[in-house]
Amino acid sequence: MTAPDERPAGAGARRVRPVPGGPLLIEGPVEVELPDGGTARSDRFVTAVCTCRRSRRYPWCDTSHRRRSRDRSPGGPGEGPQQ
Ligand code: FES
């Protein structure tokens, strides 16, 4: 018999998808332990967890990772239109 918190390998595995330069997208309800010992919970179908620490809604991604620092060197990321 399997303990309630154990799952057979591969069965019901939670899918986590890292977005390059962005959050971790995690399927299902998510509970995150915070540095202060508290917890934050999301019951969304997919939750975006911030990995850049720039979010004003940390630990949840608020798309702040999309803002770039200005690099004014020719051809640098600060060149060209803003997204
Ligand atoms: S990963 Fe999106 S705000 Fe940090």
Provide the whole-model pTM. Answer: 0.70
Tokens of 27: 């399927």
Q: How far is the CA of 62 from the centre of ligand 1 (A)?
A: 6
Closest CA to 63 of 14, 8, 25: 25
Beta bridge partners of 49: 24, 60
Indicate the residue type of 13.
A
**Ligand 1 lined by 42 (C-beta under 6 Å):** no
Phi, psi values for residue 64, rounded to 5°: -60, -20
CB atoms within 10 A of CB 66: 13
Token pair of 33, please? 């332990």
4-57 tens-digit pLDDT: 455 566 667 899 999 999 999 999 999 999 999 999 999 999 999 999 999 999
Q: Longest C-alpha distance within the chain, in Å?
A: 63
What pLDDT score was predicted for residue 42? 96
Could you identify the atom of ligand 1 that is nearest to the CA of residue 51? 1
What integer pLDDT is reported at residue 80 of this predicted model?
Answer: 40
* Mutation test residue for ligand 1: of 26, 49, 55, 60, the one with most atoms within 8 Å of CB: 55
